[in-house]
Amino acid sequence: MSPPTQEALERASQALAGGKLVAFPTETVYGLGGDAGNDQAVADIFAAKGRPSFNPLIVHLPDVEAVERYAVMDERAHQMADLYWPGPLTLVLPRRADAALSLLVSAGLDTVAVRVPRHPTARALLQASGRPIAAPSANRSGHVSPTAPIHVREEFPDGGGRRLALILADGRCPVGVESTVLDLSGEHPVLLRPGSITPEEIEAVLGPIQRAATPGTGIKAPGMLESHYAPGLPVRLNALNAAKDEALLGFGPDRFVLGGAERLNLSPTGDLNEAAANLFAMLRKLDKPGLSGIAVMAIPEVGLGLAINDRLRRAAAPRP
């Protein structure tokens, strides 16, 4: 684990060039990055995470010009890029036939998920390495996503089977939930995964959008498995109280909610931005031996609450 000094960025770049993996912060969560053009490096991402091979990866790139080397951007894609790149937006676009990317990145599809991150360390790494970086969240598949460097170390105590060469540690991720994923590969825009860029904001630019089908079917982007982002303990949603042996994850004023052996509050003031930033870190803190589960108070299904509830429903879904 190292702060993102120039020397550390050089070491990280050399590791990526050598086919190793590097964990790094984005504005959303920490990513587990590998050279998106290297088949073995991409395969090692899947292996380190224990990730199903049919779940595609997001390719991180420094700018629109770089994106256009790998994907076909239409007017809609340019509109969204102008507004939200760099930032927490992933676009699923038609993959160029000559794209120098591992086919594993797209999990056999003719599309590719691309993003231009805003976090300065992610941007510095992309510039220093000079290569596209495939990077899902830096956790074991299905586990709670990491929003701090210590989370990455906890997920990969053995360095991901010695595949993980370095963790670039640069504090806590400011957004705290994964990027919004918007599919623009077809005639109609489809929201595949909600995030901090809301459906209302997208529709203000593109007009009406469709929502993805049932989670777990027709997987075209990361985060679409039905059971995902899950702590070890069972998660119970829309809780009005908590049992004595449950943890309580509150939202807003929770002084009237009874019970809970452990209690944390995503945002005592009901601020959805604060709740999103705290979500994964607090789920991790409450995921303790000796407890029977995590009871979660209701979150409003508006704005950023859509993304928070999406992650919570997947955390609470039956385990495969």
26 is in an annotated binding site: no
Q: Is 236 annotated as a binding residue?
A: no
Residue 51 assigned as binding residue? yes
Tokens of 223: 């985060």
**E strand or H helix at 167:** strand 164-167
DSSP track, 182-248: EE-SSSS-EEEE--SS-HHHHHHHH---EEP-STTSS--STT-SSS-S--SS-EE-S-SS--TTEEE
DSSP 62-111: SSHHHHTTTB---HHHHHHHHHH-SSSEEEEEEBPTT--S-GGGGTT-SE
Q: Is 115 annotated as a binding residue?
A: yes
Dist. CA 108–CA 123, nearest whole Å: 28
H or E element that contains 180:
strand 180-183
DSSP-assigned letters across all residues of 130-156: -S-EE--BSSSTTSPPPSSHHHHHHH-
185 residue type, one letter = S
Q: Has 204 been labeled as part of a binding site?
A: no
Q: In what order do the strands lie in the sheet with 246-250?
A: 235-236, 293-296, 246-250, 262-265
Beta carbons of 180 and 90 less than 8 angstroms apart? yes
Q: State yes or no: 267 annotated in a binding site.
A: no
CB atoms within 10 A of CB 58: 28
| Cα distance between residue 23 and residue 41, in whole Å | 13
Dist CA 43 CA 30 (whole Å):
19
Q: Which residue has the tokens 């009901």?
A: 270
Torsion of CA 33, 39, 40, 45, to 10 degrees: 30
- Residue 76 labelled as part of a binding site: no
128 is in an annotated binding site: no
193 belongs to an annotated ligand binding site: yes
Q: How far apart (Å, rounded) are the C-alpha atoms in residues 154 and 102?
A: 28
| 121 annotated as ligand-binding | no
Q: Which residue numbers belong to the known binding site?
A: 28, 51, 55, 60, 111, 115, 135, 137, 145, 179, 193, 229
Q: Which residue numbers belong to the known binding site for ATP?
A: 51, 55, 111, 137, 145, 193, 229
Q: Which residue numbers belong to the known binding site for L-threonine?
A: 28, 60, 115, 135, 179
